[in-house]
């Protein structure tokens, strides 16, 4: 998920969330297209692999030990089949859009030369649009005939149907946005899904992930409620929380029926909800320690306590890390609205509490907090090293530079960490998600299971790349 999380500022319509989501959750049918001659026969590869990554699949990170699963797939296919295959990775045309859109993927498939046989593979939001395209093709409504499709691989598909054949160890549940309305038709036997245990994006159940399941049901209800009417749309900007280098762009256009809007799709919204839920428990557990350390800062600076400042700055860095990681590139206000919409359908009470917490966090300048903590830790380290080298004067001079940074940090965090309101709210959430007691209703309710609060390690998909490659290679070899 999955981080699943997009890394950019988005524009969404300023509507009730149910209307905003409903305008983009229905998958449009794709009209059948005439075969496109494309390139000359001599230039047409025997096979073409269209790979649609999702968030983070094309973004290198310092913690990524190996290339993503689709990157490995593309490399393996190129090495195995050489010039007989063309591998095309369809990154989102707009930075941070999550994945190529369904309209764009369909256009690419439509433009392929008529002799090439096609492999389709998608990850996350890319699996969402790839699966939709495969369903259209399999039911005779796609841009190419089903006979030309060799294999379809859907990795962590938010619309996974539990009846679709799975690669690896089978998991329970279904995709977070629910199965597609139509089957894969003629392509059914050529489709495989890959979903790892614990990935709530593709294996949500009401028992394991009650809050997420409630959000999904709320979206489905919103879609149904607006299927016969489309409210007027007023485009406004919705701020995105950015913990690193913020950028501004326009959300990808999603075409649904006759309407074309700049809304996020349901899978993109739910990807953000999954990310927040996975990181929220870790952060809220740290709130008491954060409050304690922030309270110590002024006194430690006044006393020029280098050792204490070194300890506290390091602690704050670790304590805020779950929030900074969770919020990077997400629209927390959008997530808060999604959780609030789902609250009436959530019997645990955790969705409403989470909505309130995320709403408070959305009001923080997280980029500013991250910068202040980083600078404070660097200064404290410098002072500690000077002290270790027997130079207390240099240590003292270094500490003097910490005062304005600490003051700015206290100011940036004041709305959440001053008073008892937010700490009480986070404690209530922790209680509700572990023991089932202490919800906003004052009554004990069944606690959400790990699916709502556990952090899922998506790098497990990278290690599953060989199994995915072997299945696709086998399908290709059978067409020789």
Q: How far is CA 49 from CA 70, 421, 455, in A?
A: 11, 53, 32
CA within 13 Å, CB half, 140 = 0
Residue with tokens 């500690």: 384
**pTM for the predicted model, two decimal places:** 0.67
| DSSP string for 340-404 | HHHGGG-TTSHHHHHHHHHHHHHTS-HHHHHHHHHHHHHHHHHHHHHHHTT-HHHHHHHHHTHHH
With DSSP H G I counted as helix, E B as strand and the rest as coil, what are the percentages for the chain, rounded to 5? 50, 10, 40
Q: Which residue has the tokens 């990310």?
A: 275
What is the Rg, in whole angstroms, of the alpha carbon atoms belonging to the chain? 25
Of all residues in the chain, the percent with pLDDT exceeding 90 is: 52
What domains does the chain contain, in order, with CATH numbers?
45-199+460-477 (3.40.50.1820), 266-453 (no CATH)
The pLDDT of residue 13: 32
pLDDT, one tens digit per residue, over 122-142 is: 998 899 999 999 999 999 999
* pLDDT < 50 stretches in the chain: 1-39, 58-65, 95-96, 227-262, 436-451, 453
What pLDDT shows up at residue 259? 27
Give the model's pLDDT for residue 19: 38
392 CB neighbour count, 10 Å cutoff: 13
Q: What pLDDT score does 224 carry?
A: 59
pLDDT at 212: 85
| Residue labelled with tokens 């649609």 | 52
168: region left, alpha or beta (phi > 0 left; psi from -120 to 50 alpha)? left
Could you tell me how many helices (H) and strands (E) the chain has, helices first?
Answer: 16, 9
């Amino acid at each position: 998920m999955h981080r699943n999380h997009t890394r950019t500022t988005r524009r969404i319509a300023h509507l009730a969330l149910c209307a905003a989501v409903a305008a983009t959750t229905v998958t449009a049918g794709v009209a059948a297209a005439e075969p496109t001659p494309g390139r000359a026969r001599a230039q047409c590869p025997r096979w073409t692999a269209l790979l649609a990554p999702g968030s983070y699949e094309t973004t290198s990170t310092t913690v990524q030990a190996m290339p993503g699963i689709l990157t490995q797939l593309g490399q393996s296919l190129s090495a195995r089949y050489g010039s007989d295959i063309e591998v095309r990775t369809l990154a989102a045309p707009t930075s941070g859009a999550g994945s190529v859109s369904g309209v764009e993927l369909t256009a690419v498939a439509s433009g392929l030369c008529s002799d090439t046989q096609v492999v389709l593979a998608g990850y996350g939001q890319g699996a969402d649009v790839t699966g939709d395209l495969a369903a259209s093709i399999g039911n005779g409504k796609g841009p190419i005939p089903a006979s030309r499709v060799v294999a379809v691989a859907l990795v962590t598909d938010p619309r996974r149907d539990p009846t679709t054949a799975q690669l690896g160890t089978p998991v329970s549940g279904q995709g977070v946005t629910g199965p597609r309305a139509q089957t894969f038709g003629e392509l059914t036997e050529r489709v495989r899904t890959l979903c790892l245990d614990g990935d709530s994006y593709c294996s949500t159940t009401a028992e394991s992930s009650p809050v997420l399941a409630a959000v999904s049901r709320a979206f489905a209800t919103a879609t149904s409620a607006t299927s016969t009417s489309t409210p007027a749309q007023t485009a406004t900007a919705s701020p995105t929380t950015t913990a690193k280098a913020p950028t501004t762009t326009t959300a990808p256009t999603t075409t649904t029926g006759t309407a074309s809007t700049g809304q996020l799709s349901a899978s993109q919204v739910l990807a953000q909800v999954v990310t927040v839920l996975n990181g929220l428990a870790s952060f809220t557990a740290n709130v008491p320690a954060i409050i304690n350390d922030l309270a110590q800062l002024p006194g430690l600076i006044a006393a020029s306590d280098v050792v204490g400042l070194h300890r506290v700055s390091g602690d704050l860095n670790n304590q805020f890390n779950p929030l900074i990681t969770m919020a990077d590139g997400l629209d927390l206000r959008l997530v808060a609205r999604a959780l609030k919409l789902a609250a009436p359908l959530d019997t645990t009470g955790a969705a409403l509490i989470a909505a309130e917490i995320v709403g408070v966090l959305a009001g923080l300048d997280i980029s500013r907090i991250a910068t202040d903590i980083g600078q404070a830790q660097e200064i404290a380290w410098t002072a500690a090293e000077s002290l270790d080298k027997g130079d207390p004067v240099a240590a003292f001079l270094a500490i003097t530079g910490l005062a304005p940074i600490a003051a700015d940090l206290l100011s940036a965090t004041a709305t959440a960490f001053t008073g008892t309101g937010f700490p009480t709210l986070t404690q209530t959430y922790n209680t509700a998600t572990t023991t089932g007691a202490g919800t906003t209703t004052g009554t004990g309710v069944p606690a959400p299971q790990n699916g709502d609060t556990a952090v899922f390690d998506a790098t497990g998909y990278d290690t599953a790349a060989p199994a995915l490659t072997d299945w696709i290679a086998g399908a290709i070899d059978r067409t020789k």
